Structure 1
Amino acid sequence: MHEVLLFLHGWVRWFVLLFGLLTLLRPEPRLGAFFAHTLTLQVVLGVVLAFTSPLFQGALANLPAVMAAGGEARYFVAEHWVGGLVALGLAHAGLAQARKGKPRARLLFGLALLVLLLSIPWFRPLFRL
């Protein structure tokens, strides 16, 4: 199950980034909804993945040592999911602003996309087959 979730989480990422880029170019409610809702799916997949991941579960078993050592385990236990949640909040705030026709929607969508780009583990395979 872990491998299936990892596969889905890796591939949904590209849809999230595509919708994020389109929404940044045209911050309208329909595109914003695609962006926010695919990002919601991505976060849900990530949370479920965390509960099935041997890396994540092993890191939680020895959290103080993992946090002190840094590296890949710390990245996934601390930075990766926090960035995803922050981006999710920004994307939904942008969607709310887009539905109201406010110009700050573009800023919120842009910030969400930036946080996502910073939160993606680019050191991992970009495509899982």
Structure 2
Amino acid sequence: MISRQLIDNFTQLFKEKKYQELILKSNELTSIEQRPAGLSNLIGLSKVLLKQASKKNIISALDDFKDAYLKAKKEIYGMEALCNLITISTQNCSKYPELFDVLRNTEKLYLEAESNFKNNEKLL
């Protein structure tokens, strides 16, 4: 279990746009299995928001978003993570064609989310 203080520390780093520091500390102090959904989503966003987000950063961020969705399928964090997964995959698939596979695999998650969040405009 990750302490509230550590999560607050990561949140503060994100607010201060210290994305690289957040990524390094999260890798050092946590594992993806330990992270709550909101933290996985925050780490994924940090990887995408780096000034020079590499292919490795993008793919790792997509893994974080998927992790966040799977941990919180019926919660707002899950929906936000799925939206990030779809958006970042779509934005980068022309640059990295292998992300088309990620999009194909995301369809199942989307259909699941559609039933969980029936009338949410964000998914439409």
Interval containing the TM-score (normalised by the shorter chain):
0.3 to 0.5
More helix by share: 1
The higher radius of gyration belongs to: 1
TM-score by length of 1: 0.38
Q: What TM-score, normalized by structure 2, do the two folds share?
A: 0.39
